[in-house]
Every structure is written in structure tokens, then in C-alpha cells.
Amino acid sequence: MPLPVLSLMLVVFSLTTGEFVIAGILPDVASDLSVSIAAAGLLVTAYAVGMIVGGPTVTVMTARLPRKTLIVSLLAVSIVGNLGSTVAPNYVVLLGMRFLSGLIVATFFAVAIATTVSMAPPGKQASAVAKVALGMNLGIILGTPAGTFVGQNFGWRATFAAVAIATALATLLVLRFVPSQEATTTGSVLSELRVLGDRGVQLAIALTALGNVGVVMVFSYIAPLLTEVSKFAASSVPILLLVYGGGAVVGNFVGGWLSDRALMPSLIGMLAVLAGVLALFWAASGIQVAAVVLTFAVGVMAFAIIPGMQTRVLSTASTAPTLAVAVNASGFQLSAAFAGWLGGRVIDNGPGLPAIYLVGSLLTLVGLAIAVYSHQRDRRLALQTA
């Protein structure tokens, strides 16, 4: 892996760990700050809201900064947010620090992906995105458990301090190895925003949001699905999540490789397979051996579609790629929030917990329909300009 890409991947690892590790230390935070678990759960919401708000806002405000300068500045804000979380005297301050930490994440991901793609050889863009996205996989399957271990043994504040240190070290690598690049735009804010009116960009963002909502809903409820439907012991869930994470790493690289060779056809095929795997999980969820295999398969397919989706956004938004990818990240967060809400309705007011797999499969078919329409639209436009 080239050192510039490795540097950006390590930053993604640090930021992903900082996003998800709160789940492992939530009870400790609630107890120490004398708030309920439900109130502590709003710390997750604050981070997500920061990403949703910050995606388009921060990206537009910083669009004229050189990319390397922008990356380092964004990471400085993240370090401040995590250090602020470390010393937060009360719940309200911690809530604000979580919002601040999330505020820069969508813009960073957008700039990091755009920078990585600009350094990639022709025809290798999706594979390059997959290498950066590996940091997300590692943050979930390694960083989050490690951060939880630190919090449980040294206090939850030590977890945020560790995330700040990891981000600072990764920033030093960025300073050393990532080459300087010009600003993503030199035009006006209006011209930057105009890209969002492009039909192709809108379809690419919709593809990410709707293509992921089904599998995100399944992952949101994976623990009760495995324990209550597949009848695994609660102690088996961490092991099964490692199985999922192993699949995610495999899928990340396979998806990048396939997307480099045939972007839209591969996305169409992978979404179809994902919908089929989720439907099969619904039918075979009561068989434990099948559940283990399908947990791995869901991990593979959930992350196989990500490099291609990011590359699709970049290819349709050539005039303002960073803004488009940042809005895409914000859209993914909204999709995740909707997935959690919809899953709750399916469980409480619908057919019940086992149906989560089937509903996830049907939602994935909506993303598949958008992918098919987008591909046909591309072919029509190509014929018109030929």
C-alpha cells in the first residue's frame, strides 16, 4: 500500500474508532456523569448530527483551501473534540464535543477519497478507495474493541485521549507522506452547489442512501437477531461480529477490484447478490451453521458495494467531487438513522424481529432498481453523444 494512502487509511481508522467506540463505554459514561443510558445514547446522535450538518456546510466553507492544508485543519478539529471529550466536566460539554468531533468527518472522508482517487493510476480508482475504506473496517473490528478495553480498564476518558493520540500520530504521517494538492475548487459557492442539481449526481447519492439502508438496518439489530432468532448465546455475539468484520475486509477489496473493471454492472450484480443473501438469511436464520456463513456473506456484500458507490459519486460530480462525496456521506448518515427507526417499527408494530432480514432485502432491491436505471441512463446518454 502506498504510504500516502496508508496515511489516510490510518486517519480513517482513528476517526471510525472515535465514532463507534462510544457504544462500548456508554454505561461507564452514563454512570460517571450521572445521566441515564438513554441520555448517554444521545452522544451517538450528536456525532451523527455533526456529520449530517457538517458534510455540506464545512465542505462548501473550506472548498478553496488546498487539500493537504484542509485535511490537517480538519484533523486538528477532531483532535480538539476528542481532547475536549477527555476533560469534559459534565454531560452538556461532552455532548458539544461529540458534535464538534463529528462535524468534520464527512468533509474529511470526501477530501481523503478525492485525494486518493487523484493519486490512483487510471482504472484503479475504486481499488484505491477500497484501501482507504479498509481503515473503516479495521476501526470497527479492531479499534472499537481496543478502545472499549482501554475505557473499561483506565476509564472512559482514557478512550477519548487514546483516539486523540491515534489521530495526531496519523496526522503526522499525512504531513510527511501525502503530497500537496490544489484546492478542490476556485469558483464561487454557488457554482460549487450547482453540482447537486445534476441528475446523475442525485441518482448516485440516492443509490448510496437506498442501496445501503437495508443492510444497515440488519446490522443495527444484528445482536438480537443472532441471539433471539438464531438462538446463539450472548457470549457468541462478539465472535460473530468478528466473522462479519472478516467478511467486510474481504468484500472491501473484492468490491474495489470488481468496480474498477465494470463499475455499474458490478454494482448491479453486487446489490442483487446482497438482496439474495438477506432473503436467504431470513429463510435460514434458525439454522446456526447457516447463520454463521450468512453473517460472513452479509459482511462481504455490505462492504463490497461501498468502493463502487463512492467512485460513482466522484465520476458523476467531476466539477465538485468533494462536495458531492461529503453530501453522500451525510446522506448515508440519514439513511442509517432511518434504518434504525424503520427496524424498530418492523419489530414493534410489524411482523417482528425475524422479518428484519426480509425487509432489508426488499429495501436493497430499491437500490438495485436505481442502479439499473442509472446504468440504462448512462447508455442512452452515450448513444446521444456518439
Cβ-based burial of 123 (10 A; exposed 0-12, middle 13-18, buried ≥19): exposed
> From CA 69, how far away is CA 161, in angstroms rounded?
24
Q: pTM for this one? A: 0.79
Helices (H), the chain: 3-20, 22-33, 37-61, 67-87, 91-103, 105-119, 125-138, 144-154, 156-177, 189-193, 199-220, 222-224, 237-261, 263-284, 288-316, 321-349, 355-385
**Does the pLDDT at position 84 exceed 60?**
yes
What is the per-residue pLDDT across 333-378, written as a single tens digit (0 to 9) for each? 788 778 877 888 888 888 888 999 999 999 999 999 999 999 999 9
More confident residue, 184 or 116: 116
> Which residues have CB under 8 Å from 8's CB, separation 6+?
112, 115, 116, 132, 135, 174, 178
What is the per-residue pLDDT across 279-320, written as a single tens digit (0 to 9) for each? 999 999 999 999 999 999 999 999 999 989 988 988 888 777
Domain range 3-184, CATH architecture = Up-down Bundle (1.20)
What pLDDT band is residue 185 in, cutting at 50, 70 and 90? low
Q: Do 3-184 and 194-385 agree at the fold level? A: yes
* Mean pLDDT score across all residues of the chain: 88
For Cα atoms 294, 300, 304, give the angle at the middle one, nearest 5 degrees.
Answer: 145
Find the mean pLDDT for residues 317-332.
78
Domain parsing of the chain, residue ranges: 3-184, 194-385
What is the per-residue pLDDT across 122-147, written as a single tens digit (0 to 9) for each? 888 888 888 888 888 788 778 888 88
- Give backbone dihedrals phi and psi of 66, rounded to 5 degrees, phi first: -55, 145
Whole-number percent of the chain with pLDDT over 70:
96
On whether the 194-385 domain is CATH 3.40.50.1820, my answer is no
What pLDDT band is residue 255 in, cutting at 50, 70 and 90? very high
Write the DSSP assignment of 246-289 as a string of letters.
Answer: HHHHHHHHHHHHHHHH-HHHHHHHHHHHHHHHHHHHHHHTT-HH
Please give the single-letter amino acid code of residue 384. Answer: Q
What's the pLDDT score for residue 1?
A: 65
> From CA 90, how far away is CA 82, in angstroms rounded?
14
> From CA 374, how far away is CA 204, in angstroms rounded?
8
DSSP symbol at 21: T
Measured torsion, CA atoms of residues 10, 151, 102, 112, in degrees rounded to the nearest 10: 0
**Does the pLDDT at position 24 exceed 80?**
no
Distances (CA, A) of 366 to 212, 275, 371: 10, 10, 9
